[in-house]
Structures are given as structure tokens and as C-alpha cells.
């Protein structure tokens, strides 16, 4: 059973960590955030590492870039229920899979599916997924359609989102790593990590 998550948290990955009780729905110390994200990342295929220092640095600025906001984060921790409208919020310049109330948008999911292709997994099975090239095309298209309301930094922020998801949640296919569409939808819509990762986390 998943826990409720504030709509003020727009990040699908963090929303899944909150829903599964790995992080609180309010404020978490930066060290706890870094340790949790790293632990979950290591549960991914190939045990990918993100680097605690990098995660802490991102968490430090997530609620505000000003000195007072950063000092508050350093002392109080990351406010996961106050990420919306913060420096890392692209304000709709992105996939659009979640609306401003963090509701799943089916039309945007259908659009995302158009960038995917069949992937062959190590056991010979085939499933739909997105590799790095396809993710890049999607990010470029998302940025392009936001002309007139985008910031230059928004494209860079996308690079800190989808390629990182690929690294953490990706599966190894015959032609390289890819994001499974089935697992990605479960993450975004239902706030669940892939079952394979949950099993590794439960095993310790």
C-alpha cells in the first residue's frame, strides 16, 4: 500500500520514495535524502551509483537558490512538499506527465509512447522502452514545443532528470540500457518502484 504524497512534490522518482515510505512527505535531512537515493540507486540493475555529494548539492538548492533558503535547507533539511515552484521546477516545460496537481496526464503519456521502440531483454523477451537516444529526442521535442515560455536552464534540468532515471531504473537490453515503459508508467502514475528493485531493497 502506497502512502499519500503532496502535490507540491512534482518529481516522479521522489514521489515514489515518499509513497513507499523511504522518505517523509515533509522535511528530510540532506544526509538522509542522499543515503536513501543512493541506496535505491544501488538496487537498480548493475548497482548504479549517483554519488552522495552530488545528491546533497542538488537537495541543498531544491527549495531555493538564495543564501537564506540554502541555509534553511542545510539546517532543516529538504522540504519535499515544497519542491513545486522551486529552482528545479520546469513549470510545465517538460514531459507534462503530471499536471500542476500531480495528476497523471494520459494524453502526455500517449505522446511519450511515440518516442519508444521495442527492446530485447537478456532473456530474449521483447518490451517497449526508451534508450538514451530516444530520451534525448523526447527532451529536445519537449523543449521545442515550449517555445515562448521556456527558460534556457530548462533543457539542462531535463538532463538531470531522464538520463538519471535511465541510470537508476534502466534495464540492460541487447543494444544498451533502456527505460521500460511499463515500469516507467508504474513509477509516474502509481508511485511505485520496479518490483525487481523493491525485492532488492527488501532483501537489504
pLDDT per position as a tens digit, 48-76: 988 888 899 889 989 998 888 888 889 99
Categorize the per-residue pLDDT at 44 as very low, low, confident or very high, splitting at 50, 70 and 90. very high
Who wins on pLDDT, 109 or 122? 109
> Mean pLDDT over all residues of the chain?
94
In-domain check, residue 3: no
Percent of the chain scored above 90 by pLDDT? 83
Q: Give the contacts of 197 (CB within 8 A, at least 6 positions apart).
A: 40, 43, 44, 169
pLDDT of residue 7 exceeding 90: yes
**Alpha-carbon separation of residue 159 from 128, 136, 153, 171 (angstroms):** 22, 9, 10, 19
In-domain check, residue 16: yes
- Give 118's strand partners: 128
- Residues 117 and 128 sit within 8 Å (Cβ to Cβ): yes
Burial class (CB in 10 A: 0-12, 13-18, 19+), 86: middle
Q: Which of 4-13, 60-69, 190-199 has the lowest mean pLDDT?
A: 60-69
Q: Which of 30-34, 50-54, 124-128, 197-201 has the lowest mean pLDDT?
A: 50-54
Euclidean distance between CA atoms 141 and 129, whole angstroms: 17
Q: How many domains does the chain have?
A: 1
Euclidean distance between CA atoms 20 and 185, whole angstroms: 16
In-domain check, residue 186: yes
Q: Is the pTM of this model over 0.85?
A: yes
Compute CA 199 distance to the chain's CA centroid, rounded to the nearest angstrom. Answer: 20
pLDDT of residue 150 exceeding 80: yes
What is the residue whose three cell numbers read 542545510? Answer: 74
Full residue range of the structural domain in which residue 144 is found: 12-203
What was the pLDDT predicted at 67?
A: 87
Amino acid at each position: 500500500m502506497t502512502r499519500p504524497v503532496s502535490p507540491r512534490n512534482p518529481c516522479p522518482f521522489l514521489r515514489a520514495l515518499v509513497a513507499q515510505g523511504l522518505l517523509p512527505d515533509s522535511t528530510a535531512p540532506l544526509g538522509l535524502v542522499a543515503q536513501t537515493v543512493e541506496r535505491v540507486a544501488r538496487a537498480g540493475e548493475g548497482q548504479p551509483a549517483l554519488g552522495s555529494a552530488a545528491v546533497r548539492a542538488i537537495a541543498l538548492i531544491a527549495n531555493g537558490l538564495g543564501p537564506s533558503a540554502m541555509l534553511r535547507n542545510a539546517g532543516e533539511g529538504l522540504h519535499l512538499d515544497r519542491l513545486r515552484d522551486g529552482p528545479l521546477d520546469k513549470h510545465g516545460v517538460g514531459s507534462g506527465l503530471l499536471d500542476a496537481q500531480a495528476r497523471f496526464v494520459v494524453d502526455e503519456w500517449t505522446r511519450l509512447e511515440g518516442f519508444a521502440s521495442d527492446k530485447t531483454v537478456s532473456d530474449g523477451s521483447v518490451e517497449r522502452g526508451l534508450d538514451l537516444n530516444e530520451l534525448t529526442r523526447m527532451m529536445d521535442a519537449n523543449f521545442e514545443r515550449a517555445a515562448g515560455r521556456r527558460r534556457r536552464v530548462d533543457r539542462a534540468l531535463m538532463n538531470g532528470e531522464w538520463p538519471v532515471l535511465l541510470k537508476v531504473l534502466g534495464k540492460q537490453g541487447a543494444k544498451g540500457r533502456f527505460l521500460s515503459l511499463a515500469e516507467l508508467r508504474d513509477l509516474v502514475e502509481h508511485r511505485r518502484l520496479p518490483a525487481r528493485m523493491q525485492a532488492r531493497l527488501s532483501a537489504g
